[in-house]
């Protein structure tokens, strides 16, 4: 009976499923995009291979959100601390809005990170050269030898490297310092220590040497960058989820309300056969659950397809779709749908059978 | 041997409130129906026939008076109790057939069994005999839209009887049928009564239809006049 009832009004059933689909896609995709981007950024920081990160006072863990700098020479002092095996200064500068380029000293960066895996061309040597990662190269269809305009200057692509070490673009440190008028400045220092046993003492020493500076282990820094720890992310997610739930709730409510009105006589017939209030509610809610399940399945499929299409065209994006969030989105969608159907179901159950049977 | 009254109605009153006005539909009705009897109730529109049926069938509650259906005092029942009465002891047949349009004939019958659940007195052999008597064996897999009026009404009768109810209440069962189908349905009801001992109460405007019953009672202005 439930399936037949849904099939009887295919357009309304399809629209209800669509509302649930949109709800699920909205939840999974928005959460997936936010978390994906944040977590992907954290992974690229980890990929540098540093143990300790030093930033000036007031700097954000999200590179590019602040322009505070430190003297490059501070790196020499930090490098003298027992237990430190390598130090590299990085000056980052954004371009084109959100994209960040790292100005690096190739030799010291190699000492900390172990160097780049060069896929094409070579590493940067100086001047107006840029090295890009393979993800950026693929998205922007850039190859070795091409010219890219950065900060009003033409840079030549010297090499394409494997992604995963901080930024997607790397230029010589001196070049970007000069272009930004920040000679001898660094935005951040990355350091390596000799072994795990040195981490704690070195951190303590740095903190006593540089009070007020942001001195963290890489683990601590990337933890702060993860979506779950960033202030504002959870409230944002909750707002998006609430919007999605309201969409699903409203459409299901309206669909079920009109369904109940249209089927007043049928409800009267069921009651004349001895159907209890709970039976009537059960029928309505079962129809709702079936619609929701179909919408959820389609929504998850659509989310995965959308992710595939988006990442195929925008490789620098990251959309994190986890089984946990698929389950959460499903439960939220079912909950919202049942909530939307509840009042119409109760209304159906409370109808007077004689009036319902006489309804035209 | 004492006769078993399957329905006992004593001083039954029913008042409807329409806005601020009290409308008396039944003004003190007395009625006894024996088990296995086929009773016709006739009367003009507004005489209270349908209200009487609705009360006996548990679709609404009496305002005053006593109604016993197969030993159950309806005055003591709330909404849940009357719902159970409809599952267990009453089968309805309506003028407009009232079949569920999205289900086949078999589906309509199955829904009645599903609703009754443990309260059903379904007996397969007995029900097969009813289906055969109704002549709808080959029509059970058709939806109502694919059945004639007479076939639909016979399916409705089958649905009303699937749970083995004590009484069958037929409210103008031939009201929407042509004379040929009306005759067929009335003969089926008579057969059910004579061969299976089914207690039947039938509302009708048609004196010829009333002639199929053992006994006829007349209602006027909310009272039984004969």
Of A4, A273, A279, the CB nearest to B103: A4
| Interface A-B: count of C-beta contacts within 8 A | 64
Of A1, A266, A272, the CB nearest to B92: A272
Is residue B100 scored above 70 in pLDDT?
A: yes
- Inside any domain, residue A51: no
pLDDT of the residue at B75: 85
- What is the rounded CA–CA span in Å between residue A151 and residue A76? 29
User: Distance from B84 to chain A by nearest Cα, in Å?
Assistant: 6
Rounded to two decimals, the pTM is 0.78
Of A266, A270, A354, the CB nearest to B59: A354
Q: Which residue has the tokens 């006996």?
A: B56
Q: B41-55: string of b/e by CB count within 10 Å (b at 16+)?
A: bbbeeebbbbbbbbb
| Cβ pair A272:B115 closer than 8 A | no
Is residue B61 scored above 80 in pLDDT?
A: yes
Residue A275 contacts B, CB cutoff 8 Å: yes
What are the residue ranges spanned by the domains of chain B?
Answer: 37-60+86-224
Tokens of B166: 């004590």
Closest residue of chain A to B108, computed from CA coordinates: A1
User: Distance from B1 to chain A by nearest Cα, in Å?
Assistant: 34
Residue ranges of E strands in chain A: 52-55, 70-71, 84-95, 99-104, 118-121, 129-133, 147-150, 153-161, 169-172, 185-186, 188-193, 214-217
**Judgement on whether residues A261 and A310 belong to the same structural domain of the protein:** yes
- What is the rounded CA–CA span in Å between residue B41 and residue A171? 100
Residue A2 contacts B, CB cutoff 8 Å: no
Residue B97 contacts A, CB cutoff 8 Å: no
What Rg value do the Cα atoms of chain A yield, rounded?
A: 29
CB B211, CB B204: distance < 8 Å:
no
Q: Which residue has the tokens 């049926």?
A: B53
* A4 interaction partners in chain B (CB closer than 8 Å): 102-103, 107
pLDDT of the residue at A6: 84
Residue A357 contacts B, CB cutoff 8 Å: yes
Residue A266 contacts B, CB cutoff 8 Å: yes
Tokens of A85: 């095996």
- Inside any domain, residue A223: no
Three-state DSSP class for B97?
coil
**Judgement on whether residues A69 and A126 belong to the same structural domain of the protein:** yes
Residue A354 contacts B, CB cutoff 8 Å: yes
pLDDT of the residue at B1: 43
CB B132, CB B56: distance < 8 Å:
no
Q: What total of structural domains would you count in chain A?
A: 2
* A352 interaction partners in chain B (CB closer than 8 Å): 60
pLDDT of the residue at B3: 58
* Domain C-terminal end among A212, A246, A276: A212
- Inside any domain, residue A46: no
**Judgement on whether residues A69 and A202 belong to the same structural domain of the protein:** yes
Pick among B102, B104, B143 to test the A interface (most A CBs inside 10 A)? B102
Residue B111 contacts A, CB cutoff 8 Å: yes
- Inside any domain, residue A219: no
| Cβ pair A273:B159 closer than 8 A | yes
- What is the rounded CA–CA span in Å between residue A209 and residue A213? 9
A188: left (phi over 0), alpha (psi -120 to 50) or beta: beta
- CATH number listed for the domain at residues B37-60+86-224: 3.40.50.300
Residue B100 contacts A, CB cutoff 8 Å: yes
**Judgement on whether residues A253 and A202 belong to the same structural domain of the protein:** no
Closest residue of chain B to A353, computed from CA coordinates: B59
**Judgement on whether residues A23 and A167 belong to the same structural domain of the protein:** no
- Inside any domain, residue A220: no
> Which residues span the domain enclosing A243?
2-40+232-358
Tokens of A60: 């954000």
Instruction: Residue A98: name the closest of A32, A40, A50, A48 by CA.
Output: A40
**Judgement on whether residues A144 and A250 belong to the same structural domain of the protein:** no
Tokens of A236: 């944002």
Q: Is the dihedral of CA A251, A254, A256, A258 positive or negative?
A: negative
Sort strands A169-172 and A52-55 into parallel, antiparallel or unpaired. Answer: unpaired
Residue B115 burial class via C-beta count within 10 angstroms: exposed 0-12, middle 13-18, buried 19 and up: buried
Q: What is the pLDDT along chain A (360 residues), one digit of tens a residue?
A: 888 888 888 888 898 899 899 999 999 998 888 888 888 888 999 999 999 999 999 887 776 667 788 999 999 999 999 999 999 999 988 877 678 899 999 999 999 999 999 999 999 998 999 999 999 999 899 999 999 999 889 999 999 999 999 999 999 999 999 998 888 999 999 999 999 999 999 999 999 999 999 999 999 998 888 766 677 788 888 898 899 888 888 888 988 888 888 889 999 999 999 999 999 999 999 999 999 999 999 999 999 999 999 888 888 788 889 999 999 999 999 998 898 889 989 988 998 888 888 876
* A274 interaction partners in chain B (CB closer than 8 Å): 83-88, 90, 112, 115-116, 119
- Inside any domain, residue A222: no
- Inside any domain, residue A218: no
| Cβ pair B98:A265 closer than 8 A | yes
Is residue B47 scored above 60 in pLDDT?
A: yes
Residue A272 contacts B, CB cutoff 8 Å: yes
pLDDT digits (tens, 9 = 90+) for B9-40: 999 999 988 888 999 999 999 999 999 999 99
| Cβ pair B83:A357 closer than 8 A | no
- The fraction of chain B above a pLDDT of 90, given in percent, is 68
Of B85, B107, B115, the CB nearest to A270: B115
**Judgement on whether residues A207 and A270 belong to the same structural domain of the protein:** no
**Judgement on whether residues A63 and A205 belong to the same structural domain of the protein:** yes
Looking at the DSSP bridge assignments, the partners of residue A120 are A160
- Inside any domain, residue A227: no
**Judgement on whether residues A183 and A325 belong to the same structural domain of the protein:** no
E strand or H helix at A148: strand A147-150
Residues 40-69 of B with CB under 8 A from A: 54, 57, 59-60
**Judgement on whether residues A246 and A306 belong to the same structural domain of the protein:** yes
Q: Which residue has the tokens 């003591």?
A: B76
Pick among A1, A10, A263, A269 to test the B interface (most B CBs inside 10 A)? A269
Residue A274 contacts B, CB cutoff 8 Å: yes
Whole-angstrom CA distances from B77 to B13, B74, B80 are 16, 5, 7
Of A1, A271, A276, the CB nearest to B111: A1
Closest residue of chain B to A350, computed from CA coordinates: B79
């Amino acid at each position: 009976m439930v399936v037949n009832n849904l099939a009887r009004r295919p357009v309304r059933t399809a629209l209800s499923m669509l509302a649930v689909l949109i709800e699920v896609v909205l939840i999974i995709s928005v959460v997936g995009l936010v978390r994906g981007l944040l977590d992907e950024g954290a992974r690229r920081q980890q990929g540098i291979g540093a143990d300790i990160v030093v930033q000036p006072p007031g700097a954000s863990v999200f590179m590019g959100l602040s322009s505070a700098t430190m003297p490059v020479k501070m790196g020499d002092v930090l490098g003298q601390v027992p237990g430190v095996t390598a130090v590299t200064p990085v000056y980052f500068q954004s371009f084109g809005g959100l994209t960040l380029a790292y100005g690096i000293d190739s030799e010291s960066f190699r000492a900390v990170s172990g160097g780049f895996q060069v896929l094409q061309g070579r590493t940067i040597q100086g001047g107006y050269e840029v090295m890009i990662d393979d993800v950026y190269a693929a998205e922007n269809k850039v190859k070795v030898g091409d010219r890219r305009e950065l900060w009003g200057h033409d840079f030549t692509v010297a090499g394409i490297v494997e992604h995963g070490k901080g930024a997607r673009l790397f230029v010589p440190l001196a070049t970007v310092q000069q272009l930004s008028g920040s000679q001898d400045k660094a935005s951040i220092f990355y350091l390596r220590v000799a072994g795990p046993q040195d981490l704690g003492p070195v951190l303590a020493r740095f903190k006593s040497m540089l009070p007020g500076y942001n001195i963290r282990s890489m683990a601590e820094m990337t933890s702060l960058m993860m979506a779950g720890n960033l202030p504002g992310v959870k409230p944002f997610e909750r707002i998006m989820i609430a919007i999605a739930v309201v969409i699903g709730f409203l459409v299901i409510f309206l669909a079920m309300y009109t369904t109940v009105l249209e089927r007043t006589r049928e409800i009267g017939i069921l009651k004349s056969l001895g159907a209890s209030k709970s039976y009537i509610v059960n029928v309505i809610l079962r129809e709702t659950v079936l619609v929701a399940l179909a919408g959820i399945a389609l929504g998850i499929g659509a989310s995965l397809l959308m992710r595939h299409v988006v990442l195929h065209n925008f490789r620098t994006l990251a959309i994190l779709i986890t089984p946990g969030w698929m389950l959460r989105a499903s439960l939220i969608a079912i909950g919202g749908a049942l909530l939307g159907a509840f009042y119409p179901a109760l209304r159906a159950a409370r109808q007077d059978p004689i009036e319902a049977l006489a309804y035209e | 041997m004492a006769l078993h009254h399957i329905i006992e109605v004593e001083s039954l009153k029913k008042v409807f409130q329409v806005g601020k006005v009290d409308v008396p539909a039944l003004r003190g009705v007395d009625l006894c129906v024996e088990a296995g009897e086929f009773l016709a109730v006739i009367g003009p529109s507004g005489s209270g026939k349908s209200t009487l049926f609705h009360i006996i069938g548990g679709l609404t509650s009496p305002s005053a008076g006593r109604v016993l259906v197969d030993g159950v005092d309806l005055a003591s029942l709330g909404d849940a109790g009357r719902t159970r009465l409809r599952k267990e002891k009453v089968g309805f047949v309506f003028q407009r057939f009232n079949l569920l349009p999205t289900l086949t004939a078999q589906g309509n019958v199955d829904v009645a069994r599903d609703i009754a659940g443990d309260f059903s007195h379904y007996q397969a052999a007995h029900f097969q005999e009813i289906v055969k008597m109704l002549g709808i064996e080959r029509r059970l897999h058709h939806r109502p839209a694919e059945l004639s009026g007479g076939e639909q009404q016979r399916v409705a009768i089958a649905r009303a009887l699937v749970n083995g109810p004590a009484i069958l209440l037929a409210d103008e069962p031939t009201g929407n049928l042509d004379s040929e189908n009306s005759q067929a349905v009335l003969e089926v009801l008579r057969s059910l009564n004579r061969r299976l001992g089914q207690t039947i109460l039938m509302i009708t405007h048609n004196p010829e239809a009333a002639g199929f019953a053992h006994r006829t009672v007349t209602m006027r202005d909310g009272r039984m006049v004969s």
